[in-house]
């Protein structure tokens, strides 16, 4: 392909060359920069998007598989779009459709072909239609591909593209420090045209790690990003990106080259597709996760991974101590960045982000309680050859079936409290579809697949779901309607802007509370949550409400004219006390 004559004048060429020189010191960075620019030659740079246009309090995100709702005779992506338009158009602004490509395992995360939509879900037209009505987030499963992919077939046969795309290990490599999220063996013996090789598998032997030390692997993924942009994707989730770059003798996680790849992708999207957001999926301890903001030049958004285990622990024990301590140490997101707050996902409740925040005894109590409520546990291999709990596999609705003392009648209230806490925090709230729908543990799914994660990946029949959501006596109707109402309340309240000021309130142990103030300082919200199954007293004077303002609870609509009053706060009740 002939390169346009204005490549030398492109203002993005120099920063691209800097990124590429760091990653590939033995290659010509100028030539590689020209290759990158050629990939995006159809995109017209428009300048950076103003920060105030990146997100607002009106934003919230739905996480779903393309076939979480199925209807015989219809493409699941069409059914999903119908569900969004009928039930969520007034509350949800963005949709994360989990991997929608053909795959061989891990419910989509072992991608066979990134350029195609799984025909069992639909095609690119359905993806583009959803993107036309909602901000669409898609996964770039960047660390590995399926063993059934064309690239890996070519690797075994010794032909390109693919022959040099995969990470191999040699007999003398020191792999003792490698950090992994699985207990399976790291290396997979593979017969190739060049003899027996041992390929790297961070996750499973069906998910073969790519070798980004080859610049052509990077170019392949930039072409995939271009394709997704052309179909309307505007948020990219870089899956398992922390493991991307490997060097034997190191931990092979969060290496400097990995951060440089994220910075390079950020440079590209900021220049060629301003307004596109990058979110890094790094399910690791909190201090490691925060590094992916970089110097405001890596991810726009990072997952608030520690929230889920700490919040579940708080609601199961009735103790706010650990949740409060964590929140007080969390830095405000840098300008132009924010957090994605979530309490449930397709992967379950990650426990690595709780390391250093919950003691081993508290973690064990959490694990055993969730097990009593039907949950499962997945482990990971540690550097010393042992195993630790990696994640809790459970429907969040069922994880909150009771407390450490056993089941009780407060499941719905406790669950609504969990989601309301998430909605109030600094950042953008993300709702897993099975949380919105109060889906219980899918034990039949686990039995059918023999995979723990299937417990929280139920597939709803569309007509059955419609019936349950319309049945005012069903728990699904009750949860969905109240969550939708609270999301819509939140959208109208400026203190819930993702970057509005936040301070932790020092109320008594049963409460988890914080204060949010709008960016123009005209409105405040005191978010107060009773974490216990008992009625608690709340002295309004403890909140230091400004006397000149009129205050009310936005959730209940109750006016609070006497600022010296003592409120009786019901079990798991949430208050949004605001002055407007």
Domains contained in the chain, CATH given:
1-41 (no CATH), 51-147+210-375+388-496 (3.20.20.80), 501-578 (2.60.40.1180)
DSSP 142: -
Instruction: Locate 125 and state its tokens.
Output: 């037209």
346 in a known ligand binding site? yes
Ranges of residues in the chain whose predicted pLDDT is under 50: 1-5
Q: Is 198 annotated as a binding residue?
A: no
371 labelled binding-site residue: no
How far the first Cα of the chain sits from its last, in Å, is 60
Check if the beta carbon of residue 231 is closer than 8 Å to that of residue 124.
yes
> Alpha-carbon distance 263 to 246, whole Å?
17
67 is catalytic: no
Q: Is the torsion defined by CA of 8, 258, 215, 251 positive or negative?
A: positive
Q: Nearest-CA neighbor of 91 among 340, 430, 457, 434?
A: 430
Cα distances (angstroms) measured from residue 362 to each of 342, 368, 402, 560: 21, 10, 17, 38
Residue 549 pLDDT: 87
Exposed / middle / buried, residue 361 (Cβ in 10 Å: 0-12, 13-18, 19+): exposed
SS (H, E, C) 86-122: HHHCCCCCEEEECCCCCECCHHHCCECCCCCCCCCCC
User: What tokens appear for 152 in the block?
Assistant: 């890996």
* Chain mean position to CA 443: 24
Whole-number pLDDT of residue 7: 57
pLDDT at res. 9 = 73
- In this structure, the number of other CB atoms found within 10 A of the CB of residue 255 comes to 17
What's residue 1's pLDDT? 41
Token pair 């729908």 is at which residue? 437
Give the global pTM: 0.95
In the chain, helix, strand, coil percent, each to 5?
35, 20, 45
Task: Map tokens 């969040």 to a residue.
Answer: 396
71, 239, 270, 533: which is the annotated catalytic residue? 239
Q: Please check whether residue 280 is in contact with residue 302, taking contact to mean a CB–CB distance below 8 angstroms.
A: yes
User: How would DSSP label each residue in 472-484?
Assistant: TTSHHHHHHHHHH
- Given a contact cutoff of 8 angstroms between Cβ atoms, the answer to whether 61 and 95 are in contact is yes
Separation between Cα atoms, residue 79 and residue 263, nearest integer Å: 36
367: which residues sit within 8 A by CB, 6+ positions away? 351, 377, 389, 392
CA distance 441 to 439: 7
Q: What is the pLDDT of residue 4?
A: 45
* Bond preceding residue 83 cis, omega within 30 of 0: no
373: tokens are: 């409520």
| 580 among annotated binding-site residues | no
Q: Find out whether 52 is annotated in a ligand binding site.
A: no
């Amino acid at each position: 392909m002939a390169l346009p004559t204005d490549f030398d004048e492109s203002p993005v060429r120099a920063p691209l060359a800097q990124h590429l020189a760091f990653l590939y010191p033995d290659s010509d960075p100028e030539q590689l920069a020209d290759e990158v620019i050629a990939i995006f030659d159809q995109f017209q740079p428009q300048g950076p998007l103003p920060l105030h246009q990146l997100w607002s309090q009106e934003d919230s995100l739905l996480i779903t598989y393309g076939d979480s709702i199925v209807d015989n005779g219809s493409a699941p992506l069409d059914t999903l779009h119908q569900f969004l338009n009928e039930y969520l158009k007034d509350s949800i602004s963005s949709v994360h459709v989990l991997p929608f490509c053909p795959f061989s395992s891990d419910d989509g995360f072992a991608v066979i072909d990134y350029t195609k939509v799984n025909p069992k879900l639909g095609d690119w037209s359905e993806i583009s239609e959803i993107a036309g009505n909602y901000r669409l987030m898609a996964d770039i499963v960047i660390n590995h591909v399926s063993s059934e992919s064309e690239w890996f077939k070519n690797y075994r046969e010794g032909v390109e593209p693919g022959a040099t795309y995969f990470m191999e290990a040699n007999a003398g490599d020191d792999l003792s420090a490698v950090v992994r999220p699985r207990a399976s063996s790291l290396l997979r013996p593979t017969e190739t045209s060049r003899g027996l090789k041992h390929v790297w598998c961070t996750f499973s032997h069906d998910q073969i790690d790519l070798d980004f030390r080859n610049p052509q692997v990077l170019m392949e993924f930039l072409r995939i990003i271009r394709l997704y942009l052309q179909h309307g994707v505007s948020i990219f989730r870089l899956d398992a990106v922390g493991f991307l770059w490997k060097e034997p003798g190191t931990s092979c996680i969060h290496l400097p080259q990995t951060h440089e790849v994220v910075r390079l992708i950020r440079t590209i999207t900021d220049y060629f597709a301003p307004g596109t957001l990058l979110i890094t999926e790094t399910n690791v301890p909190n201090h490691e996760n925060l590094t992916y903001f970089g110097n405001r030049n890596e991810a726009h958004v990072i997952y608030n991974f520690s929230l889920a285990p700490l919040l579940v622990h708080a609601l199961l024990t009735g103790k706010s101590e650990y949740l409060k301590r964590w929140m007080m140490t969390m830095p405000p997101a840098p300008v132009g960045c924010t957090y994605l707050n979530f309490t449930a996902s397709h992967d379950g409740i990650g426990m690595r982000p709780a390391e250093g925040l919950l003691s081993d005894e508290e973690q064990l109590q959490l694990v055993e309680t969730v097990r009593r409520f039907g949950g499962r546990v997945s482990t990971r291999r540690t550097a010393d050859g042992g195993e630790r709990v990696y994640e809790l596999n459970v429907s969040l609705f069922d994880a909150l079936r009771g407390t450490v003392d056993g089941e009780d009648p407060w499941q719905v209230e406790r669950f609504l409290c969990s989601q309301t806490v998430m909605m109030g925090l600094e950042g953008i709230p993300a709702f897993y579809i099975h949380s919105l729908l109060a889906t219980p543990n899918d034990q039949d799914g686990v039995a059918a697949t023999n995979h723990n994660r299937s417990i929280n990946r139920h597939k709803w029949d569309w007509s059955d779901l419609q019936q349950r959501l319309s049945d005012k006596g069903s728990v699904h109707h009750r949860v969905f309607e109240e969550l939708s109402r609270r999301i819509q309340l939140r959208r109208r309240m400026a203190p819930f802007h993702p970057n509005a000021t936040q301070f932790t309130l020092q109320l008594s142990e049963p409460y988890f509370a914080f204060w949010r103030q709008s960016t123009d300082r005209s409105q405040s919200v005191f978010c107060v949550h009773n974490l216990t199954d008992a009625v608690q007293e709340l002295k309004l004077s403890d909140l230091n409400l400004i006397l000149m303002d009129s205050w009310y609870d936005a959730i209940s609509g109750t006016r609070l004219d006497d600022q010296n009053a003592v409120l009786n706060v019901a079990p798991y009740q949430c208050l949004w006390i605001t002055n407007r």
